[in-house]
Amino acid sequence: MNGFAARRDVEEMATCDPVDARSLWRMSESGKRILVICPTLRDRMHFSRPEIRAAYSLEFRGTDEATHEPGFDGPRFLQETLQDVQRRRGEFQAVVGIDDFPACMMAALVAERFGFPSPSFESLFLCQHKYYSRLRQRGAAPEATPRFHVLNLSRDPTPADLPLPFPVFIKPVKSYLSILARRIDTFPDLARLAVEARLRLAPLAKMFDGLLRASTLDGEFREVPGSALLAEELLSGRQVTLDGYAFQGRVVPLGIVDSVFFPGSLSFQRFEYPSRLSPRVQERMARIGERCIRHIGLDGTFFDIEFFYREVDDSIWIIEINGRMSSQFAPLYRMIDGIDLYAMQLDMALGRDPGGREVWGPDRDKGTVSASFVLRRFANATVTRVPGEQDLRRLRERFPEAFVEVLVKEGAKLSDELQDDESFRYCLVDLCARDWKALLSRFEEAKALLPFAFGALPGPRTGSSQ
């Protein structure tokens, strides 16, 4: 597999209006299509591959980027999508969302309205709302669930509101890219975070709560709004992600990916597959994952479960459960195992068995290793140069298997893109090699072929003198 695209390239492939875009790739004009809700840039890169375009008839509606623009009205977009599908009911055979929010939730609501195969909205909600998800995790795997407590921000928190001892880990019950997820050591730190959370989470929480109101879920799921914070006991260990899917009642693990962080930070440096954890620990994680997925009721989609493994006491702890594929890892599974997660997701949306059950095997030597490398800076800057077509072509010739995502635009600030609270991503590079040493060497060579350049941020404007 190879994939090379800067943001502008994919926008030319699939330019979508945020409300009623119809980027069509059809097998035949008369064939029914799969409606893809708010695909990300990465999704559009994968859906542009010839083998996908030849096998599936896709119609895009909206883009993920548009959902993060100020003023985007999620419930309105959903209502207009429902009306459009109703008018054109005979043209669609399935609906799918790849990214967890809002795409997956919107796709589930559309599917439930028109009877398309889909994970239930309730099961996706129980993955995405981190408080209600913790309740289900505790019911299925109490030994792997940390102590936790919800903080409603409808009023200022007081010390009595937090029964857990400091330090704690705080995260929004609904967020993205680890925004506002951090260690908190004192109550004054918590109070400051609460003020920041009210400002930064309001638009996201409003959309999340609006989609919940559009569903038929019971009122018990509406007691804790999307603007709340979740406090958890502090965890540590080796962080990994278990990937798998659930289909027609069967929970299928695929693999485990190791997370590697930049030293002294919570920012990911790379993701390595296959995992270097012992087969015994990986099998334990798969069993815990199966119990949780069944208890949540997730079916007809991928899942990923982030874990900590603590070697000192051989314990396993659930960080969070996501009811969607780890799309960033899709190239790794294709390189190592020869499976196409995007094709498998489309098959599940059509009600077809996605296969891939032979992939799981933590005790097998797969003969090749892979990683998704994250290029970051830890200070904001202006992007003065991004790789051009010739640069990408040279990289493609040297590393035919690579998958590269250029995440920024020339002339923009790094902070113009969605980022975490610590650093600024600007490119992803996925590669494979015969061993880990060779993989790191190939990455350094690949990075040298990607001529990014950065400059100082523009200073404040000053008035001209007369």
Rounded to an integer, what distance in angstroms lies between the CA atom of residue 377 and that of residue 460?
22
Using pLDDT thresholds of 50, 70 and 90, give the confidence band for residue 26: very low
The answer on 178 and 90 residing in a single domain is: no
The answer on 39 and 85 residing in a single domain is: yes
Tens of pLDDT, residue by residue over 277-317, are 999 999 999 999 999 999 999 999 999 999 999 999 999 99
- Is residue 379 a part of any domain in this protein? yes
The answer on 209 and 155 residing in a single domain is: yes
Is pLDDT above 70 for 319?
yes
- Residue ranges with strand state E in 99-167: 148-151
Lowest mean pLDDT among 12-16, 291-295, 371-375: 12-16
- Is residue 331 a part of any domain in this protein? no
User: At which of 233, 267, 296 does a domain end?
Assistant: 233
User: At which of 233, 257, 288 does a domain end?
Assistant: 233
Please count the structural domains in the chain.
Answer: 3
The answer on 12 and 113 residing in a single domain is: yes
- Is residue 415 a part of any domain in this protein? yes
User: At which of 214, 233, 252 does a domain end?
Assistant: 233
- Is residue 46 a part of any domain in this protein? yes
The answer on 229 and 153 residing in a single domain is: yes
Write the secondary structure of the chain as one string of H (helix), E (strand) and C (coil).
CCEEECHHHHHHHCCCCCCCCCEEECCCCCCCEEEEECCCHHHHHHHCCHHHHHHCCEEEECCHHHHCCCCCCHHHHHHHHHHHHHHCHHHEEEEECCCHHHHHHHHHHHHHHHCCCCCCHHHHHHHHCHHHHHHHHHHHCHHHCCCEEEECCCCCCCHHHCCCCCCEEEEECCCCCCCCCEEECCHHHHHHHHHHHHHHHHHHHHHHHHHHHCCCCCHHHHCCCCCCEEEEECCCCEEEEEEEEEECCEEEEEEEEEEEECCCCCCEEEEEECCCCCHHHHHHHHHHHHHHHHHHCCCCEEEEEEEEEECCCCEEEEEEEECCCCHHHHHHHHHHHCCCHHHHHHHHHCCCCCCCCCCCCCCCCCCCEEEEEEEEECCCCEEEECCCHHHHHHHHHHCCCCEEEECCCCCCEHHHCCCCCCCEEEEEEEEEECCHHHHHHHHHHHHHCCCCEEECCCCCCCCCCC
The answer on 160 and 206 residing in a single domain is: yes
The answer on 172 and 70 residing in a single domain is: no
Is pLDDT above 80 for 466?
no
Using pLDDT thresholds of 50, 70 and 90, give the confidence band for residue 449: very high
The answer on 102 and 154 residing in a single domain is: no
Using pLDDT thresholds of 50, 70 and 90, give the confidence band for residue 460: low
CATH code at 96? 3.40.50
- Is residue 139 a part of any domain in this protein? no
| Cβ–Cβ < 8 Å for 43, 98 | yes
User: Is the whole model's pTM more than 0.75, yes or no?
Assistant: yes
- Is residue 103 a part of any domain in this protein? yes
The answer on 83 and 18 residing in a single domain is: yes
Using pLDDT thresholds of 50, 70 and 90, give the confidence band for residue 218: confident
The answer on 157 and 61 residing in a single domain is: no
- Is residue 151 a part of any domain in this protein? yes
| Domain extent for 161 | 147-233
Using pLDDT thresholds of 50, 70 and 90, give the confidence band for residue 2: low
The answer on 403 and 447 residing in a single domain is: yes
The answer on 187 and 95 residing in a single domain is: no
pLDDT at position 421 is 80
- Is residue 281 a part of any domain in this protein? no
